[in-house]
A and B are shown apart, each in its own frame.
Chain A
Amino acid sequence: MKKGKSSSSAVARKHSHPQNGHVLPSKLAKYLDPDASLDKDQLLDAVHWIRQVLGLVCGLLWGTIPLAGAVWIALFLTISTGIVYWYYTFLLKIDEEDFGGHAALLQEGLFASFTLFLLSWTLVYSLAHF
């Protein structure tokens, strides 16, 4: 029984077929798989793009609602940093010392995502509400 279970789970991991039947591209799946061994550049790239997507999504959301005030900048930074931390600590379960420490991981892509957030927030806010 155990053997059958482990082999079936190994096959599932190999072909990136979650139980709901949707196929995850294998390129994307390795960035979500704690067993995949990402090198430093790959992990930092993943963190960078996660930050950019969060910046864009939060900016569009904050501008649509709309949210106004500098306090919402702090909320974005908290959410963005929290999600990145959750990603590499709890999803990938990596040892951050192997990748330059928390500072290197948390600051990757931060400035670009912050400017992207401000840009999208400002644009949506200006165009949709004035």
Chain B
Amino acid sequence: MASALSSLRYGDSLSVVAISAATAVLCEAISWLLIYRTATYNSLRASIERHSRKLDAMKSGGSSSTAAASGAQPAGGSSRAKKMDRVETSLKDAARELSLAKLKSGAVVAAVLFVVFGLLNSLFEGRAVAKLPFAPVPLVQRMSHRGLPGNDPTDCSMVFLYFLCSMSIRTNLQKLLGFAPPRAAAAAGGGLFPMPDPKVN
């Protein structure tokens, strides 16, 4: 197999993909060990999903009732709005706590990725590991042609290939294993640095 790989001009690309895939699996294993299997994470995730479903139900119930009786029950409408605000706030708080809970594993995963990137860089620096079937725009070329000799824009550096691998493999692996963050958390904007609520002046 090694001889078959070495006979391919761009056989290094397969090595980069294999190392990226193995790193993705390792990172998810670390994340599972440190965070996904803990009761805190699971209860926060369940809380986010519960609040999100509640909010969706209130929004759809509210839109149908306002269509049916426009302005007939203003008091009911304002109490519903207050309830929705409370549920939204709870959702954002839970999403923020989830982000904080993932910090620890995030730091370890970042360290692993840093080491792997350094290793790949030392192995493939200055070498084109693949041939791009298109000429990237100049902004992308800064990554795709990084550290490569010559001016051929279709030469692909390890950095760009690793980036493509990370984005595609890791995202889909998380999704497949059920480790992807809940959509409601992202929609609530409840990250570590939440945006100010536009409703509050």
The dominant DSSP class at the A interface is helix
The number of chain B residues touching the other chain, given as a range, is 20 to 34
- In the complex, the answer to whether A122 meets B135 with C-beta atoms within 8 Å is no
Q: Who on chain B is nearest to A116 by CB?
A: B168
Could you tell me if A123 and B133 are in contact, using CB atoms closer than 8 angstroms? no
CB distance from B15 to the nearest CB of A (A): 12
B residues in contact with A123, CB < 8 Å: 13-14, 17, 130
When the two chains form their complex, are residues A119 and B172 in contact, meaning their CB atoms are under 8 A apart?
no
CB-defined contacts of B161 to chain A, threshold 8 Å: 119, 122
Q: Tell me the complex Cα distance, A130–B165, Å.
A: 21
> How many Å from the CB of B159 to the closest CB on chain A?
13
CB pair A52 B172 closer than 8 Å: yes
Contact B13 A63 (CB under 8 A): no
Comparing A22-30, A65-73, A78-86, the segment that makes contact with chain B is A65-73
Q: Which residues of A are at the interface with B, using a C-beta cutoff of 8 A? A: 40-41, 44-45, 48, 52, 55, 62-63, 66-70, 72-73, 98, 111-113, 115-116, 118-119, 121-123, 125-127, 129-130
User: Beyond the given A41-B183, A122-B131, A126-B10, could you list 13 further A-B residue pairs with CB under 8 A, ordered by the A residue number?
Assistant: A62-B133, A69-B133, A72-B134, A113-B168, A116-B168, A122-B13, A122-B133, A123-B13, A126-B9, A126-B130, A127-B14, A130-B9, A130-B10
